Structure 1
Amino acid sequence: MTSEGLLLRPSASPLMCVVAQKVRVEEELEAYPNESVDLRCQFIDGGGRTKLTQVSWIWEPSDGQRDNIAVYHPIYGQSFPNVAFKDRVVFLHNTLENPSIRISNLKMSDAGRYTCEYATYPSGNEQGTTTLVMLAKPKNSARVVTVQAGTKSVVVAQCEAVDGKPAATIKWQTSLGGNHSTSTTSGPDGTVTVRSEYRLVPTPTDNGRELMCMVEQRTQERPWVYPVTLSVEYPPSVSIEGYDHNWYVGRSDAVLTCLANANPPPTTVTWTAASGLLPDTVVVDGNKLVVRKVDDAVNTTFICEVRNKHGASREQITTVVIEALEEPVSPGVVAGAVIGSLLALLLVVTLIAVLLTRGRSGGSNSGDYGNKARLLFGNKNGTGANNNGPAVYAYRESCEGSGALSEKSNDFHHHHRPPSAGNPPSAHDILLSGDVGEAERRKFHMDDSMEDEEEQYDRFGGGGDILPPAYHMGRGHGEEMDVYLDDDMESQRDGSVISRTAIYV
């Protein structure tokens, strides 16, 4: 941008005429302390008839007088009359047409109006003015103010922007129900310090809550944001945990824990008993009270007292000792007992089912074979000779399962052999019969015909050759018929031995 300087000069006539000359400068510049700034100036002569004799830079502070800080003459050279700018101001080109200067190591007090003024002939003086705005980035900070919980509104946080130019704006972002106040202080160099305080009535629940300080200022590309965590101090509040109402005699390592909510943290934790001294089985470990062995001595009231710099608080709990017949069963033992019971129950059900099945089977057989007879053939006299008729022995089983061996008829005899007197052969005699050959054993075979069993059996004593219907005796080459038994014998409950080839009738 350009600024035109106008010079009014009187003429011979009462009329005034204005001759315009142009001096090109920048209207406004911004700079920061300790930095440098270039003030540009250029004379524009449209017709080329103006003669430049000298150029000067004049500084006018916002609250002071005008003063030359730099002068350039084509014959006499450069001059810097103001001591405050000495060694900080230089000409960039050393020409009257472009007398731009540079100011280094800027100070906030350097702010003001800078005028580039030409001395010309025949026009006189021409000038252009640049306003230098000094900016300062504020030094932002925020901090918490530690307070004690109470009933009055107090400052809990502060935020400030120090030595900024222009002045900063401070805002608070929070969900707390407090309010804030802001104040400003101007510095000697034109800077401004802004302070803001946040207030509320602090409670223990406000401790640790957060609020944000936000600073906005022209020199910052984005707002400066800083979180503040409140610090509210209060005396302890105490609670006791760990008692489960199951302190039985003999229980070991029962623990009570004293919990305290306090800011600052508790300095001391003290355990006592309402009955006096702590029982011998009790051990104190910090905020824990450990009962090594529960007995009647711990059937009392335990008191926990916690203290910090703002005061003390206590809590108590009454423990009741109960009698316990048995140690509490662990969940694993209970689970094992349940599983074992289920397996035992399953085994019992299985045994009952098996017994019922056998009972039904036995009842069915007893109907058909209530009385079973085993017919045994052998030598009646038990001597081993095959000269006597076969003896028939019947083994009968009753419904109760008991049986006895009896002789049904022992008067079997061959038609040309009279029966011999004597006792019927025993099973041992039959087994000792050694004159029965394998070929003779095969002469006996089963007959599927079982009709009229009882009638046929009764005729065995008539001396004929009729055998029970379940048997047919094969005859050999001679007249005699020998009856043999299988040597596969089995023992009976009464001590006797009976052949397994016996037939039930």
Structure 2
Amino acid sequence: MARCVGLWALLLALHVQAGDGQVVQMDSVKSGFVGSQVELRCVFVNSNPPVKVSQVTWQKLLNGTKQNVAIVNPVLGVSVLSPFRERVSFKQATVRHQMSSLEDTTIVFSNLQLSDEAAYICEYTTFPAGNRENMVNLTVYAQPQTRMSLTSTTIVAKTPRRKMTVATCMAANGKPPSVIKWETRIKGDATYQETRNQNGTVTVRSNYQVTPSRETHKQKLTCIVTYRGERITESVVLNVQYEPEVKIEGFDGNWYLNRQTVQLTCRADANPPVTIYQWKLLNGSLPSNVEIKNNTLFFKGPVTYDLAGTYVCDATNAIGTRTGVVDVNITDFPSPDRGNFQRTRSDFPSPDRGIVQSTDFPTNPPNNHGIQQEQHSAGVVIGGAVGGVALLGVAAVLLFIFLRRRQRTFKGDYNTKKHAFGNGYSKAGGLPAHPSKPKNLPYPDDSDDEKKPTQIGSTGGFEPSDRNFDTESEDLKRPYFTVDEGESREYDERTLGFQYDPEPEIVDDMISQTDGSVISKKEWYV
């Protein structure tokens, strides 16, 4: 029901506004910045036959309350009410001079203020058609006041190091609020804060925090404020004070006896600059031939062993003191790996130190380091080849000895009777009949362990009668020899004998052993 009533009222208003052809033309929205000038257009379109305009009224509508701004009456003239009297006027001269033409009653706002933001109504009173009106919404913007500043003109890098605010960027009294961003190579953190003011503006503030150090000195910090698509940039350069960063230069690792013109220099990077340099030698005093000039130690005369030691340089500025250290060692001769140095007769130790003094050295000798390196490489290659040949020769000799001994030895054990009748080397087809063996066999005097009679079993092999053999221990004692199955076998009254061609250097009745000794066949077959 309420919706139907509202729709009916809207249609009625449009009919009244457009009835009989009278229309009030205005812009729907207008905007301007604080302090600027803005026009609010109002034009009355009359009908034919025209109606009579008796009065035009401008009103400010804010929070449902209307406030008169200016009135134009053909009889009474123009009236601008307070507090707009000093800043509002009618644009057309005919209206200002009370002339009868009131078709264009546009007003001009000068020195626009934030309080001017509202809806404005232009109302025409006509006869006999009645009132005709329209409305415009005025928006007032406030350009922010941007400012970037360092928290201090001088920032001190303290120990221990901690983060601190070094710069602040602000966009104050802006409407609508601004957006702040930072651009810099310095690693840091940004904080943001918005404050809404009573006049409707907003102040945005951002702080940038870094850890002050030597690396942050002279670094650029840029704040970018974006307001309604416009970029406003401002930059500062950090001035960070820090203790000296100290290092000692001059020692190249090649200070040798009798070398001339050596020195040590204390380099210090500091802000503010170093004012005091102090040199000292750990566990001793500076050599007597040292001359100190500012931050440099000059060693007069040739280098001696007295110059060796640990040198310390203390550099002091207004912030603090830092130390640099270098260990100096003295060698007898120059090192070729450190580059070429000018060699003279005075550059080398004298004979009274037990070192032969070099003579007739050229002032700038050629670099023999590359030649020595090539000679060394060639020697390595030759030595490797000779060693390889020698190793192959030794291996060949060992192989020859091994094969020769294998040829000379038997592949069997001391119990030859067992191999004769059951060692697996016999030829297929069976063994020839074995003659009967006497019951008592003579044993050599030096073989007490074997002076026990054995009996021939039905299987054709010998088995011990009075003792058990440890098979594994006995196998370790067996000398091995090779037997060709095609060779003939002959038997005598006591045991089996193998026929083969002996080595020329071995007597016919002797047999070689694995340890290089020989024994008689009589001892072997028993």
TM-score by length of 2: 0.52
Counterpart residue type for residue 19 of structure 1: V
- Contact 1:91–1:101 (Cα < 8 Å) also in 2: yes
**Match of 1:26, SS?**
coil
1:171 to 175, 181, 186: 181
Which residue number in structure 2 is paired with residue 441 of structure 1? Answer: none
Offset from partner CA, 1:84-141 (integer Å, 9 cap, x none): 3333222111142111122222233332222222233334433222222222332334
Q: Which has the higher helix share?
A: 2
Q: Which has the higher strand share?
A: 1
**Mapping of 1:63-462 within 5 angstroms?**
66-82=66-82, 84-93=83-92, 94=95, 95-143=101-149, 146=155, 148=157, 150=160, 152-173=162-183, 178-200=188-210, 204-207=214-217, 212-218=222-228, 220=230, 223-226=231-234, 233-247=241-255, 253-274=261-282, 281-294=289-302, 298-320=307-329, 326-328=345-347, 333-334=363-364
| CA distance, structure 2, for counterparts of residue 102 and residue 269 of structure 1 | 74
| CA distance, structure 1, for counterparts of residue 120 and residue 367 of structure 2 | 103
- Contact 1:7–1:125 (Cα < 8 Å) also in 2: no
Which residue number in structure 2 is paired with residue 35 of structure 1? Answer: 36
**Match of 1:317, SS?**
strand
Counterpart residue type for residue 88 of structure 2: V
| CA distance, structure 2, for counterparts of residue 280 and residue 148 of structure 1 | 39
| CA distance, structure 2, for counterparts of residue 216 and residue 265 of structure 1 | 40
Offset from partner CA, 1:167-210 (integer Å, 9 cap, x none): 11123456766443321123343322212233455665455555
| CA distance, structure 1, for counterparts of residue 315 and residue 149 of structure 2 | 30
**Match of 1:79, SS?**
strand
How far did 1:264 drift? 4.7
Counterpart residue type for residue 266 of structure 2: C
| CA distance, structure 2, for counterparts of residue 270 and residue 65 of structure 1 | 82
How far did 1:79 drift? 1.6
How many residues align? The count is 323
**Match of 1:96, SS?**
coil
Tell me: CA distance 1:235–1:28, structure 2 relative to 1, closer, same or farther (3 Å): same
**Match of 1:19, SS?**
helix
How far did 1:305 drift? 0.9
Which residue number in structure 2 is paired with residue 418 of structure 1? Answer: none
Counterpart residue type for residue 118 of structure 2: G
Which residue number in structure 2 is paired with residue 20 of structure 1? Answer: 17
Which residue number in structure 2 is paired with residue 371 of structure 1? Answer: none
**Mapping of 1:473-488 within 5 angstroms?**
none
**Match of 2:173, SS?**
strand
TM-score by length of 1: 0.53
Counterpart residue type for residue 69 of structure 1: V
- Contact 1:202–1:232 (Cα < 8 Å) also in 2: yes
| CA distance, structure 1, for counterparts of residue 294 and residue 71 of structure 2 | 83
How far did 1:147 drift? 5.9
Offset from partner CA, 1:381-420 (integer Å, 9 cap, x none): xxxxxxxxxxxxxxxxxxxxxxxxxxxxxxxxxxxxxxxx
**Match of 2:199, SS?**
coil
Tell me: CA distance 1:245–1:172, structure 2 relative to 1, closer, same or farther (3 Å): closer
How far did 1:76 drift? 2.1
- Contact 1:136–1:219 (Cα < 8 Å) also in 2: no
| CA distance, structure 2, for counterparts of residue 16 and residue 236 of structure 1 | 83
Counterpart residue type for residue 79 of structure 2: S
How far did 1:284 drift? 3.4
How far did 1:80 drift? 1.7
Tell me: CA distance 1:23–1:321, structure 2 relative to 1, closer, same or farther (3 Å): same
Counterpart residue type for residue 38 of structure 2: V
How far did 1:336 drift? 9.0
Which residue number in structure 2 is paired with residue 348 of structure 1? Answer: none
Tell me: CA distance 1:189–1:7, structure 2 relative to 1, closer, same or farther (3 Å): farther
- Contact 1:7–1:19 (Cα < 8 Å) also in 2: no
How far did 1:164 drift? 2.0
- Contact 2:120–2:135 (Cα < 8 Å) also in 1: yes
How far did 1:33 drift? 2.6
- Contact 1:172–1:214 (Cα < 8 Å) also in 2: yes
Counterpart residue type for residue 108 of structure 1: L
Segments of 5+ residues of structure 1 without an aligned counterpart are: 1-5, 9-14, 339-505
**Match of 1:106, SS?**
coil
- Contact 1:147–1:156 (Cα < 8 Å) also in 2: no
- Contact 1:247–1:294 (Cα < 8 Å) also in 2: no
| CA distance, structure 2, for counterparts of residue 7 and residue 266 of structure 1 | 88
Which residue number in structure 1 is paired with residue 396 of structure 2? Answer: none
**Match of 1:333, SS?**
coil
Which residue number in structure 2 is paired with residue 468 of structure 1? Answer: none
Segments of 5+ residues of structure 2 without an aligned counterpart are: 1-6, 96-100, 334-343, 349-360, 369-526
Which residue number in structure 2 is paired with residue 52 of structure 1? Answer: 53
- Contact 1:137–1:219 (Cα < 8 Å) also in 2: no
